[in-house]
Amino acid sequence: MDAPNLLKIKEISGGMTDFEQEMLQIIKEELPEEIEQYHSNLEAKDFLKTAGDVHKLKHKISILNMKHGYETAVTYENELRAGRPTSAQDFEAVLNKMVVFVNQL
Partner 1 sequence: MNCIIIDDEALARSIIRNHCEKSTDVEVVAQFENAISAIKYLNQNEVDLIFLDIHMPDFTGFDFIQTLKSPPKIILTTSDRNFAIEAFEYDCIVDYLVKPVGLPRFLKAIQKAQQFSLTSKEPAAPAAATEAKQEEGKDLYINIDRRLIKIDFDSILIIEAKGDYILIKTEGKNYTVHSTLKKIEEKLPESKFLKIHRSYVINFHKIIDIEDNSVLIAKDVIPISRSNRPILMKRLNLL
List contacts with partner 1 (CB under 8 A).
8, 11-14, 16, 19, 22-23, 26-27, 29-30, 49, 52, 55-56, 58-60, 62-63
Q: Which residue, 27 or 35, is less far from partner 1 as judged by CB?
A: 27
Rounded to an integer, what distance in angstroms lies between the CA atom of residue 25 and that of residue 48? 29
Max distance between CA atoms of the chain, in angstroms, equals 43
* 8 A C-beta contact, residue 76 and residue 53: no
Closest separation between CB of residue 41 and partner 1, Å? Answer: 10
Q: Which residue, 13 or 93, is less far from partner 1 as judged by CB?
A: 13
- How many residues are there in the chain? 105
Q: Which residue, 81 or 88, is less far from partner 1 as judged by CB?
A: 81
Q: Which of 65, 78, 68, 72 is nearest to 91 (CA)?
A: 72
Closest separation between CB of residue 52 and partner 1, Å? Answer: 6
